[in-house]
Every structure is written in structure tokens, then in C-alpha cells.
Amino acid sequence: MYKGEHTEILDAFNIQDGWFTLDFANCFVKPNVMLPQDLQDAIGKTITRPRPNSDDTLVQQRFDIVRDYSKNLYSMELLDIRYPFIAAELKR
């Protein structure tokens, strides 16, 4: 995506479930506020650099997926396979 050589971004292989949350009001990805502040800060930098919230296409995709799920156009099983982060957030 947009990571490039930015070392302040968390390595995808080290990211754990529950570190990121989805704000359904605006479909923005955010750090989990239940984590220690230093980890929230690192997650915030990770979110800022690859731009998942400032890229309107990515935000719109998340919105469309949630909307389509709410209209029963997607099953939870499909979300689990194709969009596991969104599925986990809907379950949360």
C-alpha cells in the first residue's frame, strides 16, 4: 500500500487482533482506546502514514461493505473471509 520504507509504522506481522477499531460513524480506522498510550501512539502513526482514513476510496469501500452487510447483501461468513477486520469489528 503506502508503507514504503517508513520504520515508524508497525510491522503487519506483529499487529495483533484488537489493536485497531473501526468507527462506524465515519468508517475511520482508529487505535483501540483500551490499549496503553504508547501502543495507541504507535498505532496512530501506523494509521496516519498509509492513509486509510484520508483516502476517500478506502473509507467509501469500508462504508459500502458495512452498508451492504446491513442490507443482507453480504453474509458474516463472506465478511470473515474477504474482510476479516470489518467482520471482527461488526462482531465486537
* Cα 22 versus chain centre, distance: 6
Q: Is residue 86 part of a domain?
A: yes
Residue 83 lies in a domain: yes
The residue type of 6 is H
Structural domain contains residue 8:
no
Look at residue 2 and tell me if it is in a domain: no
- Range of the structural domain that residue 76 is part of: 20-91
Above pLDDT 70, what percent of the chain? 90
Number of domains the chain is built from: 1
Is residue 12 in some structural domain?
Answer: no
Residue 53 lies in a domain: yes
Going by the DSSP 8-state scheme, the letter that residue 2 receives in this structure is -
62: pLDDT strictly greater than 90:
yes
Q: Are 87 and 80 in contact (CB under 8 A)?
A: yes
For 35-39, 40-44, 46-50, which range has the lowest pLDDT when averaged over its residues?
A: 46-50
pLDDT higher than 50, residue 1: no
Residue at 62 is within a domain: yes
Confidence of residue 9 (pLDDT cuts 50, 70, 90): confident
Answer whether residue 71 is part of any domain: yes
